[in-house]
Structure 1
């Protein structure tokens, strides 16, 4: 499966990008207004890594967070 970490299962998520205009009330304005909402996709930072497990070499696509924990073991 593409774009998914093979160790923790972290995959892409959908987020909203909110565009606002105006000056905040705390700064003396009338408040910020939402002028547009656009969906975007955030994918994990995957790296191809060779890991030695039980004498065999595995090639995995893992996220950088898992890469830190694997190399500290």
Structure 2
């Protein structure tokens, strides 16, 4: 099963999760330091939806944004 919306083509994206420690300079500290960078994967919220096209019922997987625009 593909993690892609069948209407708009929205798919998974890879982002960095950045972990920092320390106190900010503006708050009187020496500055925030990056202690770890981990790649994470964000997938779209896909929901099944039954759509009628030409008298035939099709079950499609669409993201919630497309689902709201259809209903």
TM range (shorter): over 0.9
Gaps of 5+ in 2: none
Task: Provide the rounded CA distance (Å) in 2 between the counterparts of 1:56 and 1:46.
Answer: 22
Does residue 1:35 correspond to 2:40, yes or no?
Answer: no
Gaps of 5+ in 1: none
> Residue in 1 aligned with 2:2?
2
> Residue in 1 aligned with 2:18?
18
CA RMSD of aligned residues (A): 0.9
Task: Provide the rounded CA distance (Å) in 1 between the counterparts of 2:16 and 2:42.
Answer: 10
TM-score, normalised to structure 1, is: 0.92
Q: Aligned pairs, how many?
A: 71
Q: Provide runs of 4+ in structure 1 moved above 2 Å.
A: none
Shift in Å at residue 21 of structure 1?
0.3
Question: What secondary structure sits across from 1:68 in the alignment?
Answer: helix
